[in-house]
Amino acid sequence: MLIFTSNLGTSDISKAVGLGFSEGAAGSNYERMKQKVHDELKKHFRPEFLNRIDDIIVFEQLTQEQIIEMVDLMIGRVGKQLKTKDMAMELTDKAKSLLAKRGFDPVLGARPLRRTIQREIEDALSEKILFNEVGPGELVTVDVENWDGEGAGEDAKFTFVGRPKPALVAGEEPAADLAASASE
């Protein structure tokens, strides 16, 4: 089995869909998009090659909710790293939405999201830790200022506020439970 991906037709797709997030493309839009991709494939590849391909799958544009789920997964990895330093982090819905907007590109999809999280959250948080603005035993809340949730948020800024970490942060296991599960 051989699987490969292509960006053929993505410029047409982004023009057709427009900028921003898809709100769940209607069936007719998807069929038009699929036809455009097939037309681009025919322009770039010889029929003999295309005839050897069993199936061509065209993925729909990601929705904002899906991008936010990806933000949650990637931030979860950062949270695991912070846990080793006796810290925890939570993002407001507004912060997640801004990361999703800044990290999503209609043509590239979610590829830039990882870099956006690293630049906007991880690097900034590292500086806060380095300058002792936040530290061990704290829950860091990431929020946004200068953004009303509309537009691209060019002037928006992420804020980091540390406060004493509660005994257990949501989704965290007590240390005794972790030790017990490790010995099993």
Domains of the chain: 1-61 (no CATH), 64-164 (1.10.8.60)
pLDDT tens string, the chain, 184 residues long: the values are 888 877 777 666 656 554 444 444 456 777 888 888 888 899 999 999 999 988 888 877 788 899 999 999 999 999 999 999 999 999 999 999 999 999 988 777 778 999 999 999 999 999 999 999 999 999 999 999 988 877 667 889 999 999 998 876 556 665 444 444 444 4
pLDDT of residue 184: 43
Q: What is the pLDDT of residue 59?
A: 78
According to the model, what pLDDT value does residue 172 have? 60
Cβ atoms of 122 and 108 closer than 8 Å? no
Interstrand relation of 138-145 and 157-164 (parallel, antiparallel or unpaired): antiparallel
Which value, to the nearest 10 degrees, does the dihedral of the CA atoms of residues 66, 67, 72, 74 take?
Answer: 130
What are the helix (H) ranges across the chain? Answer: 10-17, 27-44, 47-51, 64-83, 93-103, 111-117, 123-130, 175-183
User: How far are the Cα atoms of 98, 113, 114, 149, 181 from residue 72, in angstroms, in the given order?
Assistant: 13, 11, 11, 18, 25
Q: What pLDDT does 181 receive?
A: 40
Q: The pTM is what?
A: 0.69
Asked if 140 and 160 count as a contact pair (C-beta separation under 8 A), the reply is yes
Q: Compute the distance between CA of residue 15 and CA of residue 13 in angstroms, rounded to an integer.
A: 5
Q: Is the dihedral of CA 10, 15, 19, 20 positive or negative?
A: negative
Name residue, tokens 């949501």: 170
Question: What CA–CA distances, in Å, run from 58 to 5, 30, 41, 161?
Answer: 10, 9, 12, 42
User: What pLDDT does residue 16 have?
Assistant: 56
Residues 6+ away with beta carbon under 8 Å from 141: 89, 90, 91, 92, 160, 161, 162, 163
Q: How far is CA 71 from the centre of its chain?
A: 4
Of 162, 152, 97, the closest CA to residue 124 belongs to 162
